[in-house]
Structure 1
Amino acid sequence: MSGDPTQSTDRNSRNAALVLGMSLPADTVLYLVLPIYASQFGISLAEAGMLLAANRLIRIAGYSTVARLYAKHGDRAACTIAAVIASICALGYSFFSGFWALVIVRLLWGLSYAALNLSTQALATADLAGASRRTGQSRALIALGPMLALPLSAFFAEQFSPRPFFLVLALIALCSIPLALKLPAGQGHVRPQGRRFKLPGSLDIWSFVEGLVLDGLFIVGLSFLGQSIAPTGAVLIAGLLLALRYLAEILLSPVGGQVAEKYGPEHMLIMLSLMTAIALVGFGAGWLWVCAAAVVILRALQLPLIAPIVAHRYPGPQRVHALAARSIWRDIGAGVGPILAGFLLPVTPSLVLYGAAAACLAMAALACRSDRR
């Protein structure tokens, strides 16, 4: 491949982000509809929480294997296979019922997402110059698919049923394959990892807490609490709010990446996490929709920051393994979060639950100031 190396890096990052953005909507729509329409999938609310966690939990065990396969086969093979599996998973959400049938689909998607996520982060940070800018642009492209799918799926679910819409999402995932075939072939050039087991640093702990609170407790709670407040329109309101999260990524992630280039991603991460903690307290106190909107916007602004932080702390070939490690800690939190939500939301006062979550997020963010490992 010829041409300016910067343009080539930008193009590869853009194509990988589009593949993930077209493969992701089925997963994000499932987070919206499964807690509300659990009975239509033949499961309970507690089982819905476990299913929403299953794809995260398999990534905890599978990221090292995915990283080795990525290192051996490279971006093109990893993303092409993952896009095919993403389409199969969307078909499964449409046709399968019962916990055990759906959990197999969730496990397959978890490994596919691991490959897509690793590729997008690795390609965005392949050159440290402009890494924050590319990461912000990548997050914006990834968000486009879910942003469009969420309100459409919410409307379709209220008017008809949530399940047939997944057929459309399966077709969209298949359409990403030509873009995956344009990605670099060959090895991913990842240095073999040395010591595998390490005590978590404060950045690892922040990733865990962020996953538990924002990808677990908050997302499930948005549908559950919203249904108790507005039973007839909860799925549509929740869908619009989750779409707002992705719209914020599209509009604000590139800006956040540019600002992070100037002021530093770590300072922004701490500030945005503290603001998110305040919004979570309001969410638990009953200002549901306003504070939920604030949380989804702030979360969108945080997403582009972690990859450039890791890239600066772990330069060179260590970068991909370090990115995978942060993703593992986030997945541990995001895997535990929906399970906790499924069991605690019906029996715990929301202010207590989200107040405690906010305190954990604030403390984890403040601890990141001194972490340079």
Structure 2
Amino acid sequence: MSVPARDADAASRRSATVLSLCLPSDVLLYLLMPMNADAFGISLAEAGVLLAANRLVRIFGYGYVVRFYAQRGDRAALTLASLVSMVCAVGNSFITGFWWLLILRLGWGLAYAALNLSTQALATSEPAGAARRSGTSRAIIAIGPMLALPLGALVSMYFGPRVIFLILAFFSLIGLFIARGLPSVPHAMPTANGRRFKAPDSVAMWSFIEGVALDGLFIFGLSLQAQSVLGGNAVFIAGVLLALRYVSEMLLSPLGGRAAASYGAVRMLVVFSALTTLALTAFGFHWLIIGAGGVLILRALQLPLVTTLVAERNPGVGRVQALAGNAVWRDVGAGVGPLLAGVLLPIASPSWVYSLAGLAVVVSAVVCSRYRVREVPA
């Protein structure tokens, strides 16, 4: 679907706003559930499974989401996703017990798949300005979690960890009404080739490894580091540090998009991945502020690069499916990461774990750049 640049800008901003309103009820779970597992009627191990479930369900469910999205368009897909987000937020306020919460997490996982796919597809719907729109989209998405994390941490300190989710359900309802203004035009899709789960190309492999390292190992380790180093202030300080992730996205993702437009997405991916290796190594050696801050800043700069790169390498009707496939591999990595962290961090030195994770990120970026000639025909 190719649309005028002005319409593409407006639709991309609206879709990003919907995700910004719905996302806080998910990100606050990563802060509050591990530290307050008893309040949700679950064990710490069950909390880990719940926090990974929303990503893992997308491995198998993304194909259904893509088909619904392509056939019904952004308006229908995001209206339904916003409704599911609201139901999940209300459920997180009142429901206890692993199995009921698991149903909510699976529902949210599929809703997020539609929300995320729409923001990427609309940002790249017109090739001219795709990198700029991707950066702007990431900045808008970051506003909701950035504000919700520290405020949610404060509310939890005084009123318990569950009241905040009822408040956030109201914002998902606002997102539902905003979604009604999105275009309803279907998206063209390539003819099915019989393979629902493709082997990753070099970009998807980088996304998988970054998902393991940054969305899995790092986020899990940040909570542990904060608890061990900061003691009683862990909830609020961890909330502020996680909010920095979204502050970085809001301020720096547009810069990452402009850097991709000016110097090339592949070149900047290699540069930022190399710097990420240094930041993860610093974090592993317990340089909490420098390491964590560096990782969060560099993650924000990298986000628009991958969307732009996937769109460049898959022009035409294959773009939406390629974006969804890349997101699946990112989710696989982000789902594996917490499970890997739970096994490795109790028995291995964090300096080794995070140094090796950083090395894997930069090596995969170099591989991605080397295979560019094969993947982008002249």
TM-score (norm 2): 0.95
Structure 2: which 5+ runs fail to align?
none
Deviation at 1:370, TM superposition (A): 1.5
Deviation at 1:220, TM superposition (A): 1.4
Structure 1 Cα separation of the partners of residues 80 and 199 of structure 2: 33
What amino acid is aligned across from residue 31 of structure 1 in structure 2?
Y
Q: In the alignment, which residue of structure 2 is the partner of 1:113? A: 112
- From the superposition, tell whether residues 254 and 357 of structure 1 become closer, same or farther in structure 2 (CA, over 3 Å): same
Deviation at 1:195, TM superposition (A): 5.2
Structure 2 Cα separation of the partners of residues 98 and 221 of structure 1: 25
- Give yes or no for contact 2:48–2:339 (8 Å, CA) kept in 1: yes
Please say if 1:39 is aligned against 2:60: no
Residue-by-residue CA offset, 1:167-219 (whole Å, 9 max, x unaligned):
11111111111210011113222223335254322211111111111111111
Q: In the alignment, which residue of structure 2 is the partner of 1:216? A: 216
- Give yes or no for contact 2:256–2:303 (8 Å, CA) kept in 1: no
What amino acid is aligned across from residue 226 of structure 1 in structure 2?
A
What amino acid is aligned across from residue 323 of structure 1 in structure 2?
L
Partner of 1:176, secondary structure, is: helix
Larger mean CA deviation between 249-258 and 7-16 belongs to: 249-258
- Give yes or no for contact 1:226–1:238 (8 Å, CA) kept in 2: yes
Q: In the alignment, which residue of structure 2 is the partner of 1:279? A: 279
Q: In the alignment, which residue of structure 2 is the partner of 1:319? A: 319
Structure 1 Cα separation of the partners of residues 256 and 199 of structure 2: 30
What amino acid is aligned across from residue 263 of structure 2 in structure 1?
Y
What amino acid is aligned across from residue 135 of structure 1 in structure 2?
S
Q: In the alignment, which residue of structure 2 is the partner of 1:342? A: 342
Deviation at 1:50, TM superposition (A): 1.2
Partner of 1:233, secondary structure, is: helix
Structure 2 Cα separation of the partners of residues 159 and 292 of structure 1: 27
- From the superposition, tell whether residues 249 and 55 of structure 1 become closer, same or farther in structure 2 (CA, over 3 Å): same
- Give yes or no for contact 2:150–2:239 (8 Å, CA) kept in 1: yes
Structure 1 Cα separation of the partners of residues 121 and 193 of structure 2: 19
- Give yes or no for contact 2:123–2:137 (8 Å, CA) kept in 1: yes
Structure 2 Cα separation of the partners of residues 45 and 348 of structure 1: 20
1:66-85 paired onto structure 2 within 5 Å: 66-85=65-84
1:227-246 paired onto structure 2 within 5 Å: 227-246=227-246
1:1-373 paired onto structure 2 within 5 Å: 5-194=4-193, 196=195, 197-372=197-372, 373=375
Partner of 2:333, secondary structure, is: helix
Partner of 2:160, secondary structure, is: coil
What amino acid is aligned across from residue 293 of structure 1 in structure 2?
G
Larger mean CA deviation between 352-361 and 341-350 belongs to: 341-350
Larger mean CA deviation between 57-66 and 152-161 belongs to: 152-161
- Give yes or no for contact 1:193–1:321 (8 Å, CA) kept in 2: no
- Give yes or no for contact 2:56–2:335 (8 Å, CA) kept in 1: yes
Structure 2 Cα separation of the partners of residues 323 and 353 of structure 1: 30
- Give yes or no for contact 1:36–1:224 (8 Å, CA) kept in 2: no
Structure 1: which 5+ runs fail to align?
none
Deviation at 1:93, TM superposition (A): 1.4
Structure 1 Cα separation of the partners of residues 293 and 42 of structure 2: 29
Structure 2 Cα separation of the partners of residues 108 and 198 of structure 1: 24
What amino acid is aligned across from residue 314 of structure 2 in structure 1?
Y
What amino acid is aligned across from residue 356 of structure 1 in structure 2?
L
State the identity as a percent: 54
- Give yes or no for contact 2:85–2:169 (8 Å, CA) kept in 1: yes
Partner of 1:35, secondary structure, is: helix
Residue-by-residue CA offset, 1:266-306 (whole Å, 9 max, x unaligned):
11111111111111111111111221111111111111111
Structure 2 Cα separation of the partners of residues 198 and 95 of structure 1: 39
Deviation at 1:141, TM superposition (A): 0.4
Partner of 2:186, secondary structure, is: coil
- Give yes or no for contact 1:45–1:342 (8 Å, CA) kept in 2: no
Larger mean CA deviation between 324-333 and 86-95 belongs to: 86-95
- Give yes or no for contact 1:86–1:109 (8 Å, CA) kept in 2: yes
Aligned pairs, number: 370
Residue-by-residue CA offset, 1:104-141 (whole Å, 9 max, x unaligned):
11000000000111111111100110000000000000
Alpha-carbon RMSD across the aligned residues, in angstroms, is 1.4
Structure 2 Cα separation of the partners of residues 92 and 184 of structure 1: 30
Larger mean CA deviation between 127-136 and 230-239 belongs to: 230-239
